[in-house]
Amino acid sequence: MIFTKACEYGIKAAVYVAEQSMNGYRASLKDISKEIDSPEAFTAKILQTLVRNNIIISVKGSAGGFEADLKKIKKTKLIEIVLAIDGTLHEGRCVLGLNKCSEVHPCPVHNKYKHIKKDILTMLEKTTLAEMSNSVIEGLSCLRN
């Protein structure tokens, strides 16, 4: 599992909020958890985290909900969402958990895994929220079954 469950929900929620914002709508917690098929209360917690980390915006009160700034959406990278939710990138860690795994002191899997790790990092750093939302808007991908 590259993402924790919280992260999975967080990414899907962010994509949905961005998608709605692109279409001029604001998304409520109820909508979001329905659309991404996630537990409502738990999703609320994750959304709060995304708000605190300035990835999305919350609007309180009646007719409130969550939005995303259109310019921000284009700049927000997947890695920022992961860091906001998990606090840390567990891809930084050695696959076998060695404290000082490195080129000069590698674990038995290091050399086989380093390319994979690099690819994962690249994906996290390059993929934008806009990219993901667009693919959903265009019907090229979906957020639930």
Partner DNA sequence: AACTATTCGGATATTATTGTCCGAGATGGT
Partner DNA sequence: ACCATCTCGGACAATAATATCCGAATAGTT
Is 65 within 8 Å of 33 (Cβ atoms)?
Answer: no
52 versus 112: smaller Cβ distance to DNA:
52
71 versus 100: smaller Cβ distance to a copy of itself:
100
Q: Is 107 in the site for DNA (CB under 7 A)?
A: no
The binder of 110, among a copy of itself, DNA, none, by C-beta within 5 to 8 A per type, is: a copy of itself
**109: Cβ–Cβ under 8 A, 6 or more apart, which residues?**
95, 96
Smallest distance from the beta carbon of 94 to DNA, in angstroms? 14
Burial 70-87 (b: 16+ CB within 10 A, else e): eebbeebbbbbbbbbbee
Per CB under 7 A, residues contacting DNA are: 4-6, 9, 28-30, 38-42, 44-45, 47-48, 51-52, 58-66
